[in-house]
Amino acid sequence: MLDAVKRPPGVLGNPPEPAGDDLSDDDFQQALYLCYEVGYAGFAGVSTDWANEPSLVALRRRLSERFLAGLTTGLDPLPEGRDIPARLEAMISADDSPSAADYLLHHGTQDQIRELLVHRSAYLLKEADPHTRVVAWLRGRPKAALVEILADEYGGGRVERMHAELYARSLRALGMDCRENAYLAELPGVTLATANLTSALCDRPCWRGALLGHLAVTEMTSSGANRRYGATLRRMGLGHPDVTDYFDEHVAADAVHDVVAAHDMAGSFARSEPDLAESVLRGAQLLLRVEGAFARHVIASWANGHSSLRARSSPAADTSRTDS
């Protein structure tokens, strides 16, 4: 894939099928990430026309369907009831995955919080961009609620308050590279899976219910996690506003977004499209599954005295944007 997208757009041929566990397989997740990323801001030296190349679109669909099918295998039964927000709350309460935010608050080092920022850069430097595709697939109250959330993500029209820009500012203030995909070569498959799941659920209208459940739980759990990240940075003496502003913003904004997302967006969508109500909950389950796998990976690595990142040896290191 890396070799292919650096050439002028054309037929990909028949790339070999990846083997192993798709959720944690580095090659599988990086290939899928590249398939999606050419449709966002893209990479330096890579034509954006790849986004519409039929053979790449076919590969993207094949990999994403395989990824989602694997994630949905062996999921627990959904909580019973008719109230979607209450069922989402029950799923969050029942989730026994470890918390990277808790680990960093109580045990983390500066190197580890920097690693966390590297992991999250794959999505947060384009935060909300995938979700804009879903707006056209919604109607009425769910649509208005999603737009309300997205308006805040994009800073209410103020570029300096866009959440992706706040995250880039945090990286710059810590002396880190804030270019999109600058750290792609270091990201393991379990990290890229968290970004790829968002892109996959935003890729086709039939998955819109799952995407809203995914986003709802993201917003419902965000405020607490970002409060702990901010506290961790301050504990380490990294409390300059340019570093912590992103996290502080999410503590405040997502305390409101969680209600909008759970009730006005996910809940009203389930009522307006009852045939897709269960898919809202499935999307929430998928989010909890990939985030749990990510947290277990980073915590196990840190607890054993290892880096949670890959060694920087892949040619993916050359695919970062150069105009950020």
Residue closest to 214 by CA, chosen among 121, 169, 149: 149
Count of H-run helices and E-run strands, the chain: 13, 0
- Say if residue 316's pLDDT is above 60: no
Residues 6+ away with beta carbon under 8 Å from 52: none
Instruction: List, for residues 23-81, the tens digit of each pLDDT value.
Output: 889 999 999 999 999 999 888 889 999 999 999 999 999 999 999 999 998 888 888 88
Predicted TM-score (pTM) of the model is 0.93
Q: Report d(CA 45, CA 106) in Å as an integer.
A: 42
pLDDT at 149 over 60: yes
- The per-residue pLDDT for range 224-282, each reduced to its tens digit, is 999 999 999 999 999 999 999 999 999 988 788 999 999 999 999 999 999 999 999 99
Is there a contact between 22 and 70 (Cβ–Cβ < 8 Å)?
Answer: yes
Identify whether the C-beta of residue 218 lies closer than 8 Å to the C-beta of residue 288.
no
From-to residues of CATH 1.20.910.10 in the chain: 84-318
DSSP secondary structure of 82-122: S-HHHHHHHHHHH-----HHHHHHHH--HHHHHHHHHHHHH
Two tokens, residue 61? 């669909």
Q: Domain 84-318 sits in which CATH superfamily?
A: Heme oxygenase-like (1.20.910.10)
Closest CA to 5 of 221, 214, 315, 322: 315
- Could you give the CA distance from residue 207 to residue 280 in angstroms, rounded to a whole number? 9
pLDDT for position 318: 46
What's the rounded Cα separation, in Å, for the pair 244 and 232?
10
pLDDT per position as a tens digit, 183-199: 999 999 999 999 999 99
Tokens 């997208």 -> residue? 5
Length of the chain: 324
Give dist(CA 174, CA 176) in Å, integer.
5
pLDDT score of 16: 78
Q: For residue 290, give both structure tokens.
A: 């990939």
